[in-house]
Amino acid sequence: MAFIREQLLYDIANVAYVHADVMPTDDDHARHQVFDVIQDGNIDRVTRILDVAYAEAVELLYPFSKQQLCPLRPYFNDDTLQESDAYIIDLKLPDNFSRTTLELILRYTHEYMVARVLAQWLRIAGAPSDAWQQWYELYNDIEARIRSALNARLSRTRRTLSPF
């Protein structure tokens, strides 16, 4: 699954714009902090939040996204800020995995990443608590939906025959 950074940022910016536009405040400074979510300087923080959302999404999909560490090649990574063009989740799915379930998980994961960024950004930007709490609850709800979709497909359902 590939999540294009440009598409994620577009959705984040659109929702932030609407939130800023309807914010019940006369404080233009607070309002412009929400408007400017993907502008210079702010984009660095959004990138970090997106990176966390991506890592969480990979972990949510653990049964199918797990990767072994290679003992012959040491793993090393640091926290240098890097902007990716896309966030890729490589899944190893069984042959009988449903295409419709995969599409649903793809859509949910996109929404999860957007909601995760918005929840944290709106809180940082000083938006009213009901705004960021709404997105916090949404990304938790989407996380539960992803888990549910995965659990429904982990094993075959066998129905016993009934003589009645």
Tens digit of each residue's pLDDT (9 = 90 or more) over 43-83 = 999 999 999 999 999 999 988 888 766 666 666 677 878 88
pLDDT of amino acid 153:
54
- 155, pLDDT greater than 60: no
Structure tokens at 29: 């400074």
pLDDT of amino acid 158:
63
Q: How many CB atoms lie within 10 A of CB 109?
A: 24
Residue 46 one-letter amino acid: V
pLDDT of amino acid 104:
95
- 20, pLDDT greater than 90: no
pTM: 0.84
Handedness of CA 90, 96, 99, 102 (dihedral sign): negative
- pLDDT tens across 93-145, in order? 888 888 999 999 999 999 999 999 999 998 888 777 788 899 999 999 999 99
Buried b (16+ CB within 10 A) or exposed e, 130-148: ebbebbbebbeebbeebee
pLDDT of amino acid 129:
77
Closest-CA residue to 23 (of 125, 136, 135, 137): 125
